Amino acid sequence: MELKGRQLIIFTSLYISYTLYVYVRRSVAFSIPALVTSEGFEKSQIGLITSSQSIAYAISKFVCGILADVVSPKALNSGGLILSGITAISFTGFNSTIVLCFWWFLNGLSQGAGWPAAAVILKQ
């Protein structure tokens, strides 16, 4: 199967955007050793932070699955990427467990927009 010019651009854009979603979603895993050693977080606090994102991601994926049929999937994908980046950058500015849980919960909410929007764009 050969892709036409526009299809190739759309496929490449979706591939790159979903790669960025996954990278940001997993980025806290790279910071866990630093949080434990330099900030003194315990394993239970790290678990709370990562669990808050997982819970939000599950909720958001369900909601955005419905939302992707109603609003523009391109806007949903772009908005999710932007919000995901903002929350990931904001995450680095704090060292309180509650605040980090809050930011990573928001990150999980923004992450849920990725796959439903990509699926709708691919279907179109």
Tens digits of per-residue pLDDT, 20-68?
888 888 888 888 888 888 888 999 999 999 999 999 999 999 998 899 8
pTM for the model: 0.86
- In this structure, are residues 121 and 14 in contact, taking their beta carbons and an 8 Å threshold? yes
What does the domain layout of the chain look like in residue ranges? 1-123
- In this structure, are residues 64 and 117 in contact, taking their beta carbons and an 8 Å threshold? yes
For residue 71, give the 3-state DSSP assignment: coil
Distance CA 60, CA 102 (A): 15
| Tokens, residue 18 | 């979903």
Q: What percent of the chain has pLDDT over 90?
A: 37
Fold classified for 1-123: Growth Hormone; Chain: A; (1.20.1250)
Task: Identify the band that residue 1 occupies on the pLDDT scale cut at 50, 70 and 90.
Answer: low
